[in-house]
């Protein structure tokens, strides 16, 4: 079985965000595998263990993303591929990224592609469904359970809290939701093995792409921080007194009840 | 200064979702002299048409088919592509909901179009439409536009106010013929976990619990309070990890990002991860026994004490308020 994971290197979710010169300041920040992509990597490894086959993790980015690719290899993926954005303009968007991924996948044989349902930095969740469309394969997003039997996939999806049980055929792209599995930590032997596993870097030439075809379809005009929230009032007294004060404030000051 | 805007309305459990009215309002902001057409998709949805017109739609398109009863990517994509082909809208707005998130990027890829996802505000600057959207789960915001071609965005529920109902409005309702083929997803079952409950994304009031709630049973007083307020129950990652509740309730950078009018954080310490998901709520109330908990830094009103003492009293008082109102 040919199993692929599309993943993204993101800001650690506990990092504080600062804006500098219209951009999010990445100086000194911790980076991690996008948490939702960790579910995808874990599920891919579970699939491989159950069905035989090979897990390839693919990311679009610069050489810094090699660290996160190595982490995925240490978790148990077999191969890693970096689609290098070095030749591109600063402003890339979901169109750019998905076209690069599609160019890569057009030369691969795949049964299933897994990704996170959203990246916690940008929060758009566009790339995976765009990729499925460009490859003309079916997609199931926000999955919480995956069973594959031959070419048949039975999947549970989280649809705003309800569970949808669906069936479809491979090839398929899925995006993973929390609750799907518990991602493993890389083991020490895993980390040692990962150093020797193949990590391939492909640039635009290798993908037979031209910079002009990849120009972003959207542009960012501004980035800014929300107004700082002022700490409010701590209410005094016994529980009953605090509650009484709260109700009064919600009615007269906040006017929400 | 005029654009013809197509918006997708969404219904759930036999009712229009509020976000349908919000996308119409969003469409009005950019239509100028142009029109806002609302598209209804489903098995039997034509009866919603009048409501959409009263909330600002100039025309309603209805696409009905038994295969459209429940959302699937293939079926809805085909309908949208057919309608886009026949209507050639200048702008397309889709709710940023479970189905909208699944559908919009696929359409954008098919149309080779830009797409701005999860929009919370829209403004028109000259001819250009500028969208505001949260990034890093609301720790920051960005303003984006689509460079050329179709102006395409998904709109987050609960952020752009719907227009007032105007029952004097009238407009045409047009049936759209749909031709569906090669549907690859078969829906076997839908397990309703949220029936009768308010959707977190659209809730005006959220009562959320953290580790301080201590057990699944500990969530019962939160549910009771949420019911009184007509709100929804949410949770922190800590509470979900500890299996006090389902991950579908998780609010935070991983989990849902919510913007209710009133957010009541109960036994939640307020890790950055959680704050990212709720700090843009309009009014935040925190109940925690640890006076130093970081949740108090973002709370408008803080109650320091044992949540199991405070909640029952709070619920009783809200009952009185609701009864008296």
What is the ipTM for the molecules in this complex?
0.94
For residue range A128-146, what is the model confidence (pLDDT) as tens digits? 999 999 999 999 999 999 9
Q: Tens digit of pLDDT for each residue in B133-166? A: 999 988 899 999 999 899 999 999 999 999 999 9
Residues sharing a CB contact under 8 Å with residue B284, sequence separation 6 or more, in sequence order: A232, B263, B264, B265, B278, B298, B299, B300, B301
Segment B268-280 mean pLDDT:
92
- Per-window interface: B 171-210 vs A, CB < 8 A: 184-194, 197, 199-201
Q: How far is A188 from chain B (nearest CA, A)?
A: 25
pLDDT at B1: 64
Q: Which two tokens stand for residue B50?
A: 């009048």
Q: What is the pLDDT of residue A156?
A: 98
Which residues on neighbouring strands pair with residue B93, listed in sequence order? B7, B153
Q: How far is B169 from chain A (nearest CA, A)?
A: 30
Residue A90 has pLDDT above 80, yes or no: no
- Residue A210 clears pLDDT 80, i.e. is over it: yes
Token output for A215? 């120009």
Q: Is B138 within 8 Å of B277 (Cβ atoms)? A: yes
Can you state the percent helix, strand and coil of chain B, rounding each to 5? 35, 30, 35
pTM of the model: 0.93
Q: Which residue has the higher pLDDT, B127 or A94?
A: A94
Please name which of B262, B251, B248 lies closest in space to residue B210, comparing C-alpha atoms. Answer: B251
Going along chain A from its start, the domains and CATH numbers come out as 2-214 (3.40.50.620), 230-257 (no CATH)
Which 81-100 residues of chain B touch chain A by CB within 8 A?
A: 97-99
Given this model, what pLDDT does residue A96 score?
97
| Sign of torsion over alpha carbons B211, B215, B221, B226 | positive
pLDDT-above-90 percentage for chain B: 86
Chain A residue numbers with beta carbons less than 8 Å from the beta carbon of B282 are 254, 256
Residue A253 has pLDDT above 70, yes or no: yes
């Amino acid at each position: 079985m040919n199993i692929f994971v599309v993943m993204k290197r993101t800001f650690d979710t506990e990092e504080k965000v600062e804006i500098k010169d219209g951009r999010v300041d990445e100086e000194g920040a911790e980076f991690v595998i996008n948490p939702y992509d960790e579910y995808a990597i874990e599920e891919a490894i579970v699939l491989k263990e159950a069905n035989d086959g090979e897990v390839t993790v693919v990311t679009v980015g610069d050489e810094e993303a090699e660290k996160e690719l190595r982490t995925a290899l240490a978790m148990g993926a077999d191969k890693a591929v970096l689609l290098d954005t070095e030749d591109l303009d600063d402003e890339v968007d979901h169109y750019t990224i998905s076209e690069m991924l599609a160019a890569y996948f057009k030369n691969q044989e795949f049964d299933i592609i897994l990704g996170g349902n959203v990246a916690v930095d940008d929060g758009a969740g566009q790339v995976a469904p765009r990729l499925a469309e460009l490859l003309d394969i079916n997609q199931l997003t926000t999955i919480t359970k995956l069973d594959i039997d031959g070419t048949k996939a039975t999947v549970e999806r989280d649809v705003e809290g309800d569970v949808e049980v669906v069936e479809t055929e491979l090839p398929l792209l899925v995006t993973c939701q929390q609750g799907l599995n518990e991602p493993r930590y890389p083991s020490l032997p895993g980390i040692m093995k990962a150093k020797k596993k193949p990590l391939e870097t492909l640039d635009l030439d290798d993908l037979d792409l031209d910079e002009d075809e990849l120009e972003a379809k959207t542009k960012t005009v501004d980035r800014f921080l929300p107004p700082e929230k002022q700490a409010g009032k701590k209410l005094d007294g016994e529980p009953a007194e605090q509650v009484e004060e709260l109700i009064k404030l919600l009615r007269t000051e906040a006017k929400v009840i | 200064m005029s654009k013809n805007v197509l918006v997708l309305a969404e219904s759930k459990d036999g009712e229009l979702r509020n976000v349908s009215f919000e996308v119409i309002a969003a469409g009005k902001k950019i239509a100028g002299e142009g029109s806002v057409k609302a598209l209804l998709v489903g098995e039997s949805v034509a009866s919603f048409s009048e409501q959409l017109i009263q909330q600002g739609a100039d025309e309603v398109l209805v696409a009905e088919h038994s295969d459209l009863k429940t959302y699937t990517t293939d079926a809805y994509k085909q309908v949208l592509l057919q309608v886009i082909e026949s209507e050639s809208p200048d702008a397309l707005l889709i709710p940023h909901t479970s189905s909208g998130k699944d559908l919009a990027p696929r359409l954008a890829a098919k149309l080779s179009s830009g797409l701005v996802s999860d929009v919370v505000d829209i403004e028109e600057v000259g001819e250009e439409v500028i969208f505001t959207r949260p990034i890093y789960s609301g720790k920051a915001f960005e303003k984006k536009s689509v460079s050329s071609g179709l102006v395409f965005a998904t709109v987050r529920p609960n952020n752009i106010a719907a227009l007032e109902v105007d029952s004097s409005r009238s407009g045409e309702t047009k049936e759209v013929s749909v031709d569906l083929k090669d549907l690859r997803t078969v829906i076997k079952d839908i397990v309703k976990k949220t029936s009768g409950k308010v959707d977190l994304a659209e809730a005006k009031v959220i009562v959320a619990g953290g580790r301080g709630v201590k057990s699944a049973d500990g969530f019962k007083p939160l549910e009771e309070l949420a019911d009184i307020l007509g709100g929804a129950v949410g949770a922190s990652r800590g509470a979900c990890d500890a299996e006090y509740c389902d991950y579908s309730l998780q609010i935070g950078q991983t989990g849902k990002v919510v913007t209710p009018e009133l957010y009541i954080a109960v036994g939640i310490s307020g890790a950055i991860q959680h704050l990212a998901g709720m700090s843009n709520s309009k009014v935040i109330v925190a109940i925690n026994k640890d006076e130093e908990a970081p949740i108090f830094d973002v709370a408008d009103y803080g109650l320091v004490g044992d949540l199991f003492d405070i909640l029952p009293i709070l619920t009783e008082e809200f009952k009185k308020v609701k009864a008296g109102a």
